[in-house]
Structure 1
Amino acid sequence: MMNNTDQNKSRTQSVLDFVEYFGNKLPHPFMIFVYLAAIIIVISAVVAYFDVSVVHPGTGEEVSAQNLLSGEGLLFALESMLSNFTGFAPLGLVLTMILGIGVAQGVGLFDTAIKASIAKAPRAVITYAIAFVAVMGNIASDAAVIIIPPLAAMIFYSLGRNPIAGIATGFAGAIGGFTANLMIAGTDALLAGITTEAAQSIDPNMVVTAVDNYFFISASVFVVVFLVGIVTEKIIEPRLGEYNPEYAEEGVLEQEQDEVSKQEMKALIYSIISALLYAGLVIALIWPENSVLRGENGSLVPSPFLSNIIPIIFLLFIVVSVTYGVTAKTIKKASDVPVYMTSAIKGMAPYIVLVFAISQFIAYFNWTNLSTIIAVNSADFLESVNFTGLPLIIIFILVMGVLNQFITSGSAQWALMAPVFVPMFMLLDYHPAFTQVAYRIGDSSTSLLTPLNPYLIMVLGFMKRYDSRSGLGSIISTMIPYTIFLLTGWILLMVVWVLLDLPVGPGINIRLSE
């Protein structure tokens, strides 16, 4: 007879099996957007046939559905195909950031910084130090998930703690806290570009920049680090209990953390000094009130400095990376720099291909005016039932979290959702950057659970090295407390943010009317 524990495990496994089965049946993200573009074409013909229209809330003009199956629609699809792709806002932003980040990763700067920061952490706060480095490590994208969990396992084991808890801490910080950082990352540029494309269906002059979420995501770092640390020490470690080395892979317990060499440490120190000098130069350039980097009347918000933050950060990465590489001798000649850049861009090939399909879908959605029609009607309905405040935002976050279990690509999911929700929330007086914040909460906090996340399987491999009994259910059950605490904590942070009416970024208020 099956007891309650076995029944609960069976139900959990059934849910996991369903998510994995359904997710694996989904087409490739590229094909999803191809199919969606085809659906938009058909829907536009139907809606245009019935002369559906709305009054644009910004201009007061009547906006009618346009038919992509018409001659005019065919010409638009053909004539705009190249410009839709090359003019897609996130493309240039992301590739520029990747060029800089790729050099930093190629020369070994990120590896050294991660190892040095964890190795120097006091024993009493090592859990929180690992969580902090993992969260900040997302600036290096894949590197953090690959380096930190196994490194954390070795550190935990050396301290007499369960290495599985170390792996969980590193993974939860790197993936669960992916949207938080004290630096502007490629994710900020990517999402801001998609948000801008969606917002311009309502306001053609609306631009969301990579720094428009900075205040919120910076505060999020400390919330995420605290929550990951608390969950590890108060829930995960007691649940895992004392580590049993009997099930460890042969040789894994004899592994030792690679020491940072004197040359690498010297290079890291020099790169930090170069970063400070670069920051000083930027400050000197924007300090005068008549600086070309300031806006009208000497303002910093808005200003050319903020609108051009991506090139400024790109140059920062180049400066510190070249400094590190030359000192560590991972850059021996000038031509090594473009080699590292080329290697980084190779890794972005799948994203570039995906952007081609995404850009056509968004362009079709906007040209047909379906985005405006759906947004206006949805906003009117929500206002009529008085469902426009915090409850709506919280429901939106939870919906994004559920969808994240099936569409694991953050850019693909936001490209799919933004054309509908960004305009709709704009009509409810929410700034697009705030809507983007809500999406990021739902996306980041729930990425730990889906079996479709390739990093989940990779981290499971790390776990199995220390405990051969580990399976998919093991890592999912370990990640559930992190997800619950991160999702709840982040929502509470957002609620406080809204109640205090704090800006989510420089000059970016929650409400458009403020």
Structure 2
Amino acid sequence: MENQNKGFLGAVERLGNKLPDPFFIFVYLAAFVMVMSAIANAFGATVEHPGTGEHLEIRSLLSGEGLQYITGSMLDNFTGFAPLGLVLAMMLGIGLANKVGLLETAIKKSILNAPKSLITYAVIFIGILGNIASDAAFVLVPPLAAMVFYTVGRHPLAGLAAGFAGTGAGFTANILIAGTDALLSGISTEAAKAVDDTINVTPVDNWYFMIVSVVILSVVGVLITEKIIEPRLGTYKGDAAGKEFEEVTAVETRGLRNAAIAGLVYLGLVALAVAWPNSSLRNEDGGIIPSPFLDGIVPIVLLFFITIGVAYGVTVKKITSQGDIPKYMAESMKDMSGYIVLIFAAAQFINYFNWSHLGTWVAVNSAEFLTSIDMTGLPVIIGFVLLTALLNMIVFSGSAQWALEAPIFIPMFMLLNYDPAFIQAAYRIADSSTNIITPLNPYILIVLAFMREYDKKAGMGTLISLMLPYSLIFLSIWIVLLIIFFVTGIPFGPGVGVYLN
């Protein structure tokens, strides 16, 4: 650990540790917007709204009108903030499935039952999908992967690295609609209102891109593990006695089976409801892009997780009465308390930024500048990705960082005719890739503790050196994938392309 504070990573860690708590970052930013709005108003700054052509004056938040807005809108800013309801609703279902043990059992069963030749694939794949359990995957997948590798005679640190890479660097990808989709799309929608208040970024708008990402990152993660990490580590010669894993019990297996049956029945009923002639879940032309079905995807996904969570919980006797269901939901809400507090401050900052018209002013002038230097295509998108990757080294929370970036970059790119959902996808690949190398990731120390159970001399440098290939290669591959979608016009989600229609 003596080298932890040396070099570039040490400098990043020291800088990050000096930053205030994310809650106060938004408080300070809100205060900064107040001051800047007053200064801009004093100089008579105006901007032409790109959508309506209306000339807008920068409104001062420190004026009488501004102070009335601040006091009168505070509660509405918070309760009306789109990500709040989306994420809390999603977590009612996902949290229930997690608290009764369904997600943990599914992860263990998937990895432990994988053939030896496919163990690495299983670890990376399940690690990526593990984000459905939110941060719980960080403390479940890496140690389990290390134990599995050790049991089959492979280096346990290679398994731990693969598990951490899938869970951390692949955090934003999934084949299911997860809480991350609801959270980020809500923030994107709020930011887009500065240009067009009719824009709605939905949780499925990056779905196609993320499904492809899961497949590609799983393959790439395996190649990194088996061609780079394991050869570097060599043969494990340590003693890890007592690291045998606990088998999935018979009742847990039955619970998993019943959850799968319940989930398939539920999905079948949803499919039937959508396919039914003249279904009210389809649009007037009979299509589903757009449609009430996609508009209601959050409650549909919520009910899916409640269905499988209850089926599993009843089977394993975690749910023995009706009262147990809301009890587990309430426990999952306790885990969201920090997010709720953060959102209160973030909502004020974003709404102040938009009400004052500073957001529109920054977006219009930034877009005009980029156009004047002829930087409006792929170079500016890639530049945004790289900037986000660097910022993630000092702002670990994905939601906090997007709440910082979205009010500036979403309107700016919309004025360059880019769809906000496309920009959101560009943000996600950068934020996710560097999760595993930023010293500000609180789970790095937990993974380091797991690592020391197999190698007493392991330090922060050991862990970072193992994770750096995953981070850099994942980011590079993801940028290439983004370019492919960009050039070929493959939709990022249902009806979502690169450009605004």
1:342 to 303, 324, 330: 330
Q: Which residue of 1 aligns with 2:271?
A: 283
Conserved? CA contact 2:192–2:199, under 8 Å? yes
Alignment of 1:21-100 (within 5 A): 21-100=14-93
The answer as to 2:462 corresponding to 1:488 is: no
The answer as to 2:350 corresponding to 1:357 is: no
For 2:360 and 2:425, locate their aligned partners in 1 and report how far apart those are by CA, in whole Å: 21
Q: How far did 1:19 drift?
A: 0.9
Alignment of 1:432-447 (within 5 A): 432-447=420-435
* SS, match of residue 453 in structure 2: helix
The answer as to 2:101 corresponding to 1:131 is: no
Q: Which residue of 1 aligns with 2:258?
A: 270
For 2:100 and 2:338, locate their aligned partners in 1 and report how far apart those are by CA, in whole Å: 23
1:386 to 374, 377, 380: 374
* SS, match of residue 254 in structure 1: coil
When structure 1 is superposed on structure 2, of 86-95 and 262-271 the one drifting more is 262-271
1:462 to 422, 433, 450: 450
Q: Which residue of 1 aligns with 2:163?
A: 170
Alignment of 1:303-318 (within 5 A): 303-318=291-306
Cα deviation digits, residues 434-466 of structure 1 (max 9, x gap) = 000000011000111111101111100000010
Q: Write the letter of the residue equivalent to 1:504.
A: F
Q: Write the letter of the residue equivalent to 1:338.
A: P
1:417 to 405, 422, 446: 405
Q: How far did 1:289 drift?
A: 4.3
The answer as to 2:360 corresponding to 1:372 is: yes
1:296 to 284, 305, 309: 284
The answer as to 2:421 corresponding to 1:428 is: no
Q: How far did 1:11 drift?
A: 11
For 1:232 and 1:457, locate their aligned partners in 2 and report how far apart those are by CA, in whole Å: 21
Cα deviation digits, residues 375-412 of structure 1 (max 9, x gap) = 00110110111101111111100000000000001111
Conserved? CA contact 1:13–1:473, under 8 Å? no
> What residue ranges of structure 2 are gaps of 5+ in the alignment?
none
* SS, match of residue 296 in structure 1: coil
Q: Write the letter of the residue equivalent to 2:184.
A: L
The answer as to 2:188 corresponding to 1:195 is: yes
Q: How far did 1:52 drift?
A: 1.2
Q: How far did 1:267 drift?
A: 1.1
Q: Which residue of 1 aligns with 2:208?
A: 215
2:321 to 291, 312, 333: 333
Cα deviation digits, residues 464-497 of structure 1 (max 9, x gap) = 0100000011111111000111000000000111
What is the total number of aligned residue pairs between the two structures?
A: 500
Q: How far did 1:102 drift?
A: 1.1
For 2:37 and 2:263, locate their aligned partners in 1 and report how far apart those are by CA, in whole Å: 51
Moved over 4 A (4+): 9-12
Conserved? CA contact 2:83–2:186, under 8 Å? yes
Q: Which residue of 2 aligns with 1:240?
A: 233
Conserved? CA contact 2:3–2:461, under 8 Å? no
Q: How far did 1:13 drift?
A: 3.4
Q: How far did 1:12 drift?
A: 9.5
RMSD: 1.3
Conserved? CA contact 1:63–1:369, under 8 Å? yes
For 1:341 and 1:113, locate their aligned partners in 2 and report how far apart those are by CA, in whole Å: 19
For 2:498 and 2:53, locate their aligned partners in 1 and report how far apart those are by CA, in whole Å: 24
For 2:276 and 2:322, locate their aligned partners in 1 and report how far apart those are by CA, in whole Å: 35
* SS, match of residue 366 in structure 1: helix
Conserved? CA contact 2:385–2:427, under 8 Å? yes
Q: How far did 1:143 drift?
A: 2.2
Q: How far did 1:184 drift?
A: 0.3
* SS, match of residue 54 in structure 1: strand
Q: Write the letter of the residue equivalent to 1:282.
A: V
* SS, match of residue 493 in structure 2: coil
Q: Does the C-alpha gap of structure 1 residues 225 and 13 become closer, same or farther in structure 2, counting only changes over 3 Å?
A: farther
For 1:102 and 1:126, locate their aligned partners in 2 and report how far apart those are by CA, in whole Å: 28
Q: Write the letter of the residue equivalent to 2:368.
A: D
Q: Write the letter of the residue equivalent to 2:76.
A: S
For 2:4 and 2:432, locate their aligned partners in 1 and report how far apart those are by CA, in whole Å: 25
Aligned identity (percent) is 54
* SS, match of residue 47 in structure 2: strand
Q: Write the letter of the residue equivalent to 1:179.
A: T
Q: How does the TM-score come out when normalised to structure 2?
A: 0.98
For 1:22 and 1:378, locate their aligned partners in 2 and report how far apart those are by CA, in whole Å: 28
Q: Which residue of 2 aligns with 1:3?
A: none
Q: How far did 1:159 drift?
A: 1.3
For 2:103 and 2:145, locate their aligned partners in 1 and report how far apart those are by CA, in whole Å: 16
Q: How far did 1:254 drift?
A: 2.4
Q: Which residue of 2 aligns with 1:6?
A: none
The answer as to 2:467 corresponding to 1:507 is: no
For 1:372 and 1:295, locate their aligned partners in 2 and report how far apart those are by CA, in whole Å: 33
* SS, match of residue 483 in structure 2: helix
Conserved? CA contact 2:4–2:460, under 8 Å? no
Q: How far did 1:288 drift?
A: 2.6
Q: Does the C-alpha gap of structure 1 residues 353 and 58 become closer, same or farther in structure 2, counting only changes over 3 Å?
A: same
Q: Write the letter of the residue equivalent to 1:421.
A: F
Q: How far did 1:142 drift?
A: 2.0
1:226 to 219, 232, 240: 219
For 1:138 and 1:465, locate their aligned partners in 2 and report how far apart those are by CA, in whole Å: 25
Q: How far did 1:144 drift?
A: 1.5
> What residue ranges of structure 1 are gaps of 5+ in the alignment?
1-8
